[in-house]
Structures are given as C-alpha cells and as structure tokens.
Structure 1
C-alpha cells in the first residue's frame, strides 16, 4: 500500500522523522518496501497564469504565451496542447532548477524569445504524465511557490503488508498502528451525518446473503460530474498510486484509501428497477469498465438490476452502468462481501483491483455506514447535489462474529521469555482497540470488527511482542532435556533401502502428491481418489492412490529428452479413502526401462525384463534377513501386463499371508495411452512391510559333511517354480539346509507343454553324519509330495 506521509500525519503526528518512522513500521511487522520523495528536486517553480496564448509565427505546434507570476509578465514559448488563456499552471522562471540539475535559461525557439518554461508533471518528477502542462485550481495564488502550494516536501511510503493485515490497507489503519507504537493520539476527522433532502430510495434485495450480508445504497441527485476535483485530493490520490478521473470516482477512491472500505457509484439512469445482489447465471455476459467482456460462472457474485448484471461484486463495475459526463443522478453503494466468497474470483478472470485486494483479505463489517456518510459529504462539497436517505439491507446472522480470546499470563511469559507487567500488557491491548478484562491468571479479550487476524491466543501474544518491540525481547536459547530415542535393531531404515537402490543404479525421484484424475483412474481404478478443494490445475486435482503415475510421468519426461535408460524410485505417501476414513500409507515404488546395462563395448544391448526388476526387489527383501517370509504370486493388476505381473505377499506373525505390493510390466494399452516408449517395469510395496526385519541369531558351523541329492522333474510349463521350492522346504525335514534350482530345460526329449527342472537339495546335521537311509526317506517324501500336489514326474 502506498500513502503520503503528510496525509498520515494529519491523523497522527509522532515525534519521529521520516527515516525513524520507516524503521519503526518495519520493526512492527509492517515492512516498508520503499520511501521516496513526493516530487523531484526542483526550485524556483511558481504558480503562473497564462494571460494569452497565440500561435507561434514560425511553428505549427508551438504557442507564444503571456504568463504572469502576479508581479510581472513573461513571454514563454510552449508546445503543450492544453496551454490556453486563463489556465493556471507550473511556471519555471529563468534561473529555476528542475530535476536532473536542469537549469532554465533564456532561449529562442524558432526566432521567438522564451523567458521560462511551463512544466508538465513528468518534468517536475511528480508522475509519468507528460501529455500536457499541469493544470492547477483557479484559486491558486499567482507567484506562490509550487512546492509550498502542493505540499511537495513529502515522502511516499510503500508498505508491503502480509495478507492477514488487511486492517492496515487504509490511512485510518496505518494511523492506528503508528498511534499504538508511539503512544500518540490519533486525531480522526469528524464525519458529519448528512441528512436527506429528498425521499427517493433504492430497492435492494440480498439474494446471496452468505456472500453479501450487508449492502447500503443512497441516491444523490443533481451531481455535477464536470466539477474539478480539488488539488489536495488529486495529490493524495497521486501519492497513493491512483490517477484522478472524475470527482465521483476520485471520492470513492479517496474514501477507500482513507477508511479501507471500497465504494462504487452507478449511473442511476442506467438501473432498471432495484438492486439485486445475486449469483451470476451460468455463461452470463458482463462488459467491465475497462471494456473487457467476461463470461461469468455460476459461483460469481454480481450486482444486478432487474434485467442485467451491473458489476462484478467487489471487483469492478460494468461499463454500461458506470458514470459518464452526462450522469446527473448516482446510486452510491457501500457493501460488505465475505472474503471466502470473493477469494480467487478476480484472479480467475485475470483481474486484480484495489477493491478486490481489500475484500479478499477482509474489510471491517461495521465501517460501511461511516464510509457512506464520508463519501456523501465529500461529493456534496465537490459536485453538489441532493442526497436521499440511506437504505440498508442486512442479514445479521450472516455477518462475521468476533469471539472473545483468552490470553494466559504464564503462556505469554513462556513464549516471550520475559514477564511483562500486567498493566503494560493491558495498556498495549487497549491501545490496539481491544477490550480487555483481567481475570487474574489471564486476560479475556474482545476483538474489534476490523481485526480479522486475531482469533487465537498466539495472535494476541504476537501483538504484544510486536508493540512491545521485538528488539527489546531477551535473547534466550530454549532448553529441554531430550532423551535419545531407541531405534529397533531389526528395523530396516529408509536410508538403507535408498542406498541399496542407488547402489543398483536407481535415482530417487520426488513427484507431486496430487495427480491427474485420468492417470489415477488408469493406474488404480478400484480406489476413488480424494479430490482437492482448491487444486493448482485440473491436471493436479486429486490425491494419488499410487506412486506409479508420478514415476511413469517422470519416465515419459526423460524419454522425450533422449534418456532411454531410466531407473527411478520414490518413497512417499499414498492416500486411500476407506469407510473408516482417509489412510495415508507410506509406500516405496520403483521403475526401470531401457537397456539392462549402460552402453559400452563390453555390454550387450539387452532390454530389461521382469526378472531384472524382481532381482532388485529381492535385494531389498534380503535386507530384512527373512527372505523366507516373502512370496511372489502370479496375479493380475489393471495397470500391469496380464502375463508379467505378480502380487508380493508377506507372511505375518500368525502365519497368514497378506498382500504387501505388486510388481510387473506396465500394461501395453496403458503404455500406448501414456506414450511410453518400449517396455517399462514397475514395483510398489508397502514401506512398513519392507522395514520389518528379523534379528540374526548365532548358529555354529557343523563339522560334519553335507549330503546332496539332485532331482530332475517333469512338470507343467505353467507351474511356478517357487511353489515347488516352498513344498521341498516344507517336506525336507529340519536338517534340509537349502534347495537350489540349477537348470530349466525345454526342447528335445521333453514333451510339449512340459518343462524339466533340476533341483539340488542339501542336508547337514550339526552333531553327526546323516545316513543314506535318512536322506532317501526325505527324498521319497519330497517326491511323493511333488507327485500328489503338482503332478510332477521324475525324469529318467
């Protein structure tokens, strides 16, 4: 927010210079981005009056003007299009010094002598306006120093307010803060209540009271919109970064800057029937004051009459209802709009206005009556006219409530590391405009309507610290007795899992937790994703139920940038909705695609396959020291290739097998849909299952020989070998040490539809040598189980 220092000092005038005031505001949390002079450095410029303006004899675009400073007359050559007899303007006499150390001297322009210069605002460093020379009020005194006449020995503060401090988006709010910080009296202007002089009233209907619970309207007849805006108002607007347009707009802008309440004036002649505050009809059209045409959505609040929309509520007025040079009667509106109803609406339409900036952050819901009277008073002083009665439409139960907040004294001392006297805390809160009641061990605080940012105890503590002075608070390091947390020895840390994958050539990826609903449906159609209330975009509008969409998107991104060999993994949460509520489940996912080995003279150009990924996942499972509690079961998943997918099962303490995740190749149709080049293989597994390890136990080495038997089996080619290995371990007895698959063969000598498996079984006893009879009995038991359970035959 920009404002004039002199304007602020009209309200409150602390014993501080400009630099000290700037520092004080920044230390109080109202950061000053910049402080610059209200005008450039110049001297010798006075108020001058053009007595006559004649065409230059030797130039079409120049005029020869006779100018007086109240004592003498001067001849000045001027090229400004608005130079005319009777105009009072800025006159730089010979010897004057303008910004940039430019000294005015006598000169001849096209053989005509010029004794000075008539100046524009840009030439004096007032603004960028150089369309013509300055136009001053008719009552300006000729010869008066321009710096004194316009009060140009002023500074313009540019304060960068945080979104929660909307109460300071006005001179009244800034003055209140300066008064509190300096224990200075705030001299608020006395606003008179303007009595009506006619009986005509606007008809106002609140059709969306949740968005606009309060709306005030007043008809003012016979305004002279051609009347000039006073120079003092123009200057205050200019120094606040607002250009003067006409007296009606200038007054509404002035009151907005003064009190923080945006206002708007309609041309009454353009209003049919009464005012309706309603939601827009879907695809309703509205042409704004800047000439742009909008197609409105159904959740947009508009100000309308009984036939059309007049304005985008709280943002900008409509072109066809705005005041023009022919306007005679106006309808002045002052309203309170709910911040949530207007949040983001201006941005959705590519707009940002001073009004929307304030309404989105919150406006005092009790200042509307005051703003109406202030604007009426100024309008009557400048444009004349006859005011009617103020009509107020209000839905009291929809207005905000400001519940009391309790501030505990011990909590204040704890957070500030200092015990402030109760009287000082009470004084600080009272000066902030809060009503305070001391309850002994706490204060009960009633929050005023303009402080939207105070609702919790910590908000009050922040206010006390801010006003007391952050620089006065003691520097005290927090102390606490912290005990080292015990770490389960059997637990596998995420760091170990990451290191293992990195050692196997993977790179860690971090993707968004919210994804495109289409991707969610493609990868996990069985789970309905949680939609975001305020998404960044439609492509990122739901929470992910799987980490695989993000990794696949990263793969496509890399492939399009000529990186065909990709190995990625990610650890993070997935969000699954259940009847019991939302579950946030830690997961670990990986993806591989491209060549098995990096390109090189000694490496063969072979693409990765299912078993490459399975081997990487098994390396993670081995970290837990209990690989026997894991199984891979062929199963189908909607996002995976039907013939190259498996469900990962984990054995629980009670012996039950639970699903822990999936691995396999992406479904060909899904790969084509997502523009994946080549084959991509993925896995996703619950992180808690991976991290549950098993402590190793010491076991002495046996001094007795091992006994080995090899079996050649004929089985169906579709039989998973893992089932045979598991059955061999179950039937092999307690001295069976290991089961090894050392050959798989299909071809000559093996019937079609069959495959030959060669298993090596090794036994060893810790305290004696096993006999052939014992081993043969175990082998017979295993062969019988294979024959009965899997129709396996010994191959001769």
Structure 2
C-alpha cells in the first residue's frame, strides 16, 4: 500500500512531523516499509513555457529553446529532450537552482550556444522515475509559479507493509481512522454526495453466484467526453501511490479505490448486451484480459458476464473487449462486494496480482459499493461531463456479513496488558476507530465497523487498545510465577516420551510438510477422501496428506541418495480425510531400511526384516501395559503393503494401523532400490496406558511346562496365544515361543511350535497335578481351535 503523505494530512489532523508519523504507524502494527521524499530542493524551479525552438547548428539532437519563465524576457535554454516543442509547459530550473540529484544550475555554453537554465524531467526533480523526456504540465499551469507550489510539494510516498487482517487500511479513509486514534485528532472526510439522476439509462442485473457475490451495483453514465484529461491533482496522487495515470475513466476508478478502498471497474456500455449476470464460471471458458493475456477458467471463478459474453473475472481483472477506450462515450460503472473466499487465490491461478484482488481476497467493506459508486460518478461528471442514470442494485441481504457485538472485560484487559488503561481512554480509542461502544459495569460491548473483518473476539479488542495506547507505554514486568501445573493423566503416555522411546531405539525424527502432490498419492493408491487445497503453494503441494508414509518415504529416498544405506525415521503428525469439516487423525509412522544393526564387529550383519519392525511395535505396545488387547492379522492389507510380509495391527479387534515391507511394485516405482519396511498407526490407541495399580509381590513360585505342537502352517501365533490364554485364564503368567520347525519329520503343510507355559496361582503353590491339568486344558483348546496335535 503506497500513498501520498500530503493526501493523508488533508483527511486527518496530524500534529507531528514525518518521522514521528512513520514511527507511530509502525508501532501501531502498520509497518512503514519505505519512505520516498518527493519534491525536495526545488527552490528556483518554476513553471515555464517553450515559446520558440530551433535546431542547434552544431548538434542534431539539441534544440535552442526560448522559454517564458514569467521574468519579462524569454530565457535561452539548450535542451536535448525528445519531446521539447513549442507551446508545452515544463519545469525550468533557473540559474542558481540546485536539483535533488546535487546538480547546480549555472549559465553555460553548449556547443558554443549560451544556455541560462535547465528544462527538467520528472526523474531529475525526484518526483517520478520517468526520464524519457521533459515533465509536461497541463496547459493551464501558471507560468512563473514555483513548481513546488503548483504540484503540492514537498511530499512523500509512504509504503506500508500491511498484515492480511488489516484490509481496511488499504485505503486513505481507513488509514485516517487509525491515525486519528493515534494522535488524538479527528478525521476530516468529505461528505458523501448523491449525484442527481439525469438519465433513465438502465441495465438489468442478475445474481447467480450465491454467497460468493451477494451485492452488485451498477450505473450507466452517458455522453462523457472521451478526450477529457485526468486533472493534475488526481494524476499526482495516483503517481505517488505508484499507479500510472491511464485515462480519465480508469484513473477515477483507481482513485476511488485508493480513497475509499472499493475496487471498481468501468465497462464500455455500448459493448454490453442485455443484462449483467454474476455467476460461477464453467469449465473450459476463456477470457482475454485487460493486459492482453488469455485466461483459461475452471469452475472455481466468479465471472461478470452479459447475455452473450464473459466481461470480467470478478475481483481480479476486466476483459479486453468490454474495456473503456479513448472513444468510449457511454460507460457502465460497476461496484460490488465479493466474499473473500471466492476471490482468494484466483489471481494467482491466472499468474496475476492486481490491486483489486489484493483487496477483495482480504475483505472489502460490504457497505462501500454504493458510496464508491456515487463518488466515482461525482468525479466522472466533474471531469468528463455526461448524464448519470439511476443506481442499479442487486443484492442478497442474508448472505452479507454483519458485524457482531464483542464484549471486552475490564479485568481481562488489565490482566493481558499488565497495566491500567483509563476507561475514558479505552472508550476514546474504540470511538476514534469508528466503532460503536456501549459501556457496561464490567467493561465494554463493541460493534466494529463493517470494514473491520478482523474484530471477532475479545482478544482482538485488547490488541486494538494495546497498539493505539502504545506498546512503549506498557511496562515490562517479570512473570509472577503463579503457574498452574498441568496434571498429566496416568492413563496416557506423553507424546514427548514416545518420541524419546523411538529415539532410544535408533530412530531419527523427521518433520515433513502436510501437503503432497496428487500424482504421488495416486502412485501409492490413495484416491479416496482426499482433502484438496483451494489455494496450494504449488501443484506439488496441492493435497493434505492422507498418510504419513508417502512424505516419510520421500525423506528416506533423499537420505539414500546421499549414501545413507541404513535409514531409520519416524514422524508424529496428523493425517487428513475428507469430511465437513475434514477429519484430522494424529498418527505415528516409521520407515526403515538397510541392516538390522549398525555396523559392528560383535555379530554378522543382517538385513532388516519384518520381525525387527514387529519387535519395535511390541516394545511400544508393552509400554502401555496391555499387550493382550493388541493383535496382528495378515488379511485385508492395503495395496502398498507386501501381501506376504505385511500385517494389519488391531487393538480390541479394531484396525489401528499396518506394518510390513513395501509392495515390490511400489518400491520399484519409487526407485527405492532395497527392501523398505514401514509402519503407520493411529497415535491415540498407542498412547493409551493401563492405570498403574500396586500389587503385592507373589508369595508362591511359578511352574514352567514346555510343550511342542504340530499345527497347520496357516495357523498364526496370535491364534495359538489367544486360545491358551482363554483356556488357562489368570493361571497363565506368560507364554513363550522358543522354537519353530518345519521339514523332516513334520508333515508337509504343517509346522512344529515349541512353547513354554509359565504358571502361577496367587493363593497357593501349584502341584504337579495342577500343572499337568493346565497342560491338558491348553492342549485340548488348541486341538479344538487350531487343529493342533501334541508331539511326543
């Protein structure tokens, strides 16, 4: 946001110099990024007119000009500017002047011809960057008048770096309220004028974009003078705001945008056909824009159309064919309110960034369109003449945002700021900012103006008081130390402790972006319930991650490409699934490849396998104290997991994750080049912990009995363990698998499992008969459920 300092001072009383103003704006959160002084050191620079000119006899590119500077006699000036010609009025630095660039003007001879001054460009006077020729002044400029007086100089172009929530300060009027509050003064805004209607020219308006475009106003102005020039005062204010003057019609809409904050557009009314229609775009539509580029539109845009053609991309840029040109005599002025969400990111999709989109995507006052339309009409009639038709209005009142009352408690204000602010000062601040204030016994109730989209809750009002009262006026105090200690629930393991446990097991934590490319997710087979971003940072970051594994595998690939053969990574983050609102699930993911152990001399190297990762899972499960509630199953595996070396992880019979080797086809497509094992689990079941209860140390000894069973190959260990535990109940303290055998002596398709049963009774010592009975019960259960046979 760039603006003229003098323009701001016309709208609000500022009893301070420029440096004080700049510091006050910055400290109030309106950071001043740059200040460009304009028109300093212009003493002895006056308005002059070239009354005669002839070619220099010794130089083809120089002219000998006779210049009237209001001194009684013309001055002879040698000039090399390409636009120097008889009749134009230009700035003249007379002998004795010293220009902002340090050049001192003296009488001199150029190629043998005397020159008594210098005709200047805007750049030489440090009021603009244009150095292509002399600065041409309007024909009505008074000859001999000091240039600084005529152009309203000195001045400064001030650039603000505004945060996205302060869209109200993208206008001089909005900025004036903040400045008035800062300096304890009052704004001096011109009164709104309703232009007299002198024409019956109308055009229908239809709203078909729902809540994305709830208000659209228009007006036809007939018979304007297309040759009318933008007045100097307006052109200068536009230049100092870094906007190039183009034509009277366009400059007026830009001026109103700077003054009030409402972007507007002017169509050539004769190029329109029938009603104006505000609707959503249809896939495949195109529009040639004002800058000459062709915009290809998808279904995410709001368009302004007539009954035959697309006229503009709402809130971004108008179309080339319907623009107001140097021959336009009848214009249709548009002034509308568009929802920020409907404009957000649309300009970037087209490779654009416009003043209109910059404002609309942050939020424009929904009450501004009528006022802006009246102001633009007033200026257009004054500059270019014409006859104004009635204001045409189409609106859906229910879809327009309405400011809601926000309460501010006096005690809360003091607690947050740490300082007492007088009630009268708080009321003054809110009133100066254009807010409606109602005083209550315990504080204030405030209704923000419709331009302040950022005032939603009590903290927003506290921020307003703090920045206007002055952060420098808030003392720096040490914390009192009265901190409330958070009670850590004993039934939940802390995430930090989980991270420390994984780090202790040799894993490194990775932190990845939560966005992935659709192409990568499709390769993994994630196509359902994806959450796509409406405004992605790039095409490769367009979808919220439905799983942590694709991003974590990319980190593994990055490390392997840098000669890291043994990689072990984990990540704790959220995954996302489509819904209203989208569902977020905290998750843990692990990826690992390379050797099972770090390189050493104590044991031979061995490649990581499924059981290593299963061991890590068992360690995490054991931490919760309820391993019996967990189980694994080799059925219903996702497509990205190896069908023979993967498992589904369940808690209480409900699937909470998966682990195993990546599918070979996926590993090949990702160019991993080695077996990679992965695990992903929902985080909350893993963090659940049994409430610790104190128990007496058992007084009676344990008894161990070993058995070997012949079972079908397809029977899983988890089925065996479940059957034995159900049969023996609390008498079974532990079940240990210590051998697995298949081959000679065992039927094909079957296997032998040898296990140790650790038995104990809390009330007495078990006898041999008790232990033998337990073995018989366990074997009977296994014969019935697992088709097992006891081996001799």
Question: Fold match, TM over 0.5?
Answer: yes
CA contact (8 A) 1:434 1:445 kept: yes
TM-score by length of 1: 0.86
With 318-327 and 100-109 compared, the bigger mean Cα shift is at 100-109
Give the structure 2 partner of residue 654 of structure 1: none
1:314-329 paired onto structure 2 within 5 Å: 314-329=315-330
Change (3 A) 1:601 1:375: same
- What is the aligned-residue RMSD (CA, Å)? 3.9
**Is residue 401 from structure 1 mapped to residue 399 from structure 2 by the alignment?**
no
Distance 1:402 1:735 in 2: 68
**Is residue 662 from structure 1 mapped to residue 682 from structure 2 by the alignment?**
no
1:123-272 paired onto structure 2 within 5 Å: 123-190=124-191, 192-208=193-209, 210-272=211-273
Give the structure 1 partner of residue 552 of structure 2: 551
1:753 corresponds to which of 749, 752, 758: 749
CA contact (8 A) 1:266 1:323 kept: yes
Give the structure 2 partner of residue 49 of structure 1: 49
TM-score by length of 2: 0.87
1:683 corresponds to which of 646, 656, 679: 679
Q: How far apart are residue 490 of structure 1 and its match? A: 7.2
CA contact (8 A) 1:197 1:386 kept: no
The superposition leaves residues 125-177 of structure 1 with CA deviations (integer Å, 9 ceiling, x where unpaired) of 22221111110122333333323332322222222223232222222222233
Q: How far apart are residue 83 of structure 1 and its match? A: 0.5
CA contact (8 A) 1:490 1:695 kept: no
Q: How far apart are residue 291 of structure 1 and its match? A: 0.9
Distance 1:260 1:333 in 2: 14
Q: How far apart are residue 674 of structure 1 and its match? A: 4.2
The superposition leaves residues 250-293 of structure 1 with CA deviations (integer Å, 9 ceiling, x where unpaired) of 22222222222223222333233453334344322221221111
Q: How far apart are residue 222 of structure 1 and its match? A: 3.8
Q: Structure 2: 5+ residue runs without aligned partners?
A: none
CA contact (8 A) 1:218 1:387 kept: no
CA contact (8 A) 1:90 1:146 kept: yes
Give the structure 1 partner of residue 637 of structure 2: 637
CA contact (8 A) 2:637 2:643 kept: yes
Distance 1:740 1:455 in 2: 61
CA contact (8 A) 1:610 1:681 kept: yes
CA contact (8 A) 1:220 1:387 kept: yes
The superposition leaves residues 449-485 of structure 1 with CA deviations (integer Å, 9 ceiling, x where unpaired) of 3333334344334334443334334555665854544
Distance 2:182 2:463 in 1: 14
With 314-323 and 330-339 compared, the bigger mean Cα shift is at 330-339
The superposition leaves residues 669-697 of structure 1 with CA deviations (integer Å, 9 ceiling, x where unpaired) of 44345444332222233444444255675
1:478-497 paired onto structure 2 within 5 Å: 482-487=483-488, 492-497=493-498
Q: How far apart are residue 17 of structure 1 and its match? A: 1.3
CA contact (8 A) 1:216 1:390 kept: no
CA contact (8 A) 1:408 1:441 kept: yes
For the residue of structure 2 that corresponds to 1:310, the secondary structure is strand
CA contact (8 A) 1:94 1:106 kept: yes
Give the structure 2 partner of residue 38 of structure 1: 38
Distance 2:454 2:325 in 1: 39
Give the structure 2 partner of residue 510 of structure 1: 511
Q: How far apart are residue 355 of structure 1 and its match? A: 2.2
1:453-472 paired onto structure 2 within 5 Å: 453-472=454-473
Give the structure 1 partner of residue 306 of structure 2: 305
For the residue of structure 2 that corresponds to 1:172, the secondary structure is helix
The superposition leaves residues 339-381 of structure 1 with CA deviations (integer Å, 9 ceiling, x where unpaired) of 3332332222222222222233333333434433433333333
The superposition leaves residues 524-581 of structure 1 with CA deviations (integer Å, 9 ceiling, x where unpaired) of 87974556666556665555554333333433444445544321222234456899x9
Change (3 A) 1:459 1:297: same
CA contact (8 A) 1:610 1:664 kept: yes
Distance 1:89 1:239 in 2: 19
Change (3 A) 1:70 1:669: same
CA contact (8 A) 1:405 1:446 kept: yes
Distance 2:467 2:759 in 1: 78
CA contact (8 A) 1:636 1:645 kept: no
Give the structure 2 partner of residue 3 of structure 1: 3
Give the structure 1 partner of residue 289 of structure 2: 288
Distance 2:106 2:57 in 1: 22
For the residue of structure 1 that corresponds to 2:98, the secondary structure is strand
For the residue of structure 2 that corresponds to 1:334, the secondary structure is strand
Give the structure 1 partner of residue 623 of structure 2: 623
CA contact (8 A) 1:55 1:63 kept: yes
Change (3 A) 1:606 1:107: farther
Give the structure 1 partner of residue 83 of structure 2: 82
For the residue of structure 1 that corresponds to 2:26, the secondary structure is helix
CA contact (8 A) 1:209 1:395 kept: no
Distance 1:370 1:786 in 2: 85
Distance 1:615 1:274 in 2: 71
For the residue of structure 2 that corresponds to 1:380, the secondary structure is helix
For the residue of structure 1 that corresponds to 2:254, the secondary structure is helix
CA contact (8 A) 2:545 2:576 kept: yes
Give the structure 2 partner of residue 699 of structure 1: 697
Q: How far apart are residue 307 of structure 1 and its match? A: 2.2
Q: How far apart are residue 89 of structure 1 and its match? A: 1.0
Distance 1:595 1:760 in 2: 31
CA contact (8 A) 2:199 2:390 kept: no
Give the structure 1 partner of residue 453 of structure 2: 452
Distance 1:719 1:214 in 2: 69
Change (3 A) 1:720 1:145: same
CA contact (8 A) 1:733 1:778 kept: no
Distance 2:60 2:713 in 1: 102
Q: Structure 1: 5+ residue runs without aligned partners?
A: 652-656
For the residue of structure 2 that corresponds to 1:677, the secondary structure is coil
Distance 1:764 1:254 in 2: 90
Distance 1:786 1:561 in 2: 51
Q: How far apart are residue 186 of structure 1 and its match? A: 2.8
For the residue of structure 2 that corresponds to 1:361, the secondary structure is coil
Distance 1:466 1:620 in 2: 49
Change (3 A) 1:156 1:557: same
Change (3 A) 1:58 1:417: same
For the residue of structure 2 that corresponds to 1:590, the secondary structure is strand
The superposition leaves residues 75-132 of structure 1 with CA deviations (integer Å, 9 ceiling, x where unpaired) of 3222221100111112223443223322234444444443332211112222221111
For the residue of structure 2 that corresponds to 1:619, the secondary structure is helix
Distance 2:409 2:734 in 1: 69
With 228-237 and 684-693 compared, the bigger mean Cα shift is at 684-693
Give the structure 2 partner of residue 671 of structure 1: 667
Distance 1:30 1:689 in 2: 47
CA contact (8 A) 2:281 2:301 kept: yes
CA contact (8 A) 1:46 1:69 kept: yes
Query: How many pairs align?
Result: 787
With 309-318 and 437-446 compared, the bigger mean Cα shift is at 437-446
Distance 2:729 2:256 in 1: 93
Distance 1:201 1:631 in 2: 74
Change (3 A) 1:313 1:638: closer
Change (3 A) 1:487 1:227: closer
For the residue of structure 2 that corresponds to 1:644, the secondary structure is strand
Distance 1:365 1:115 in 2: 57
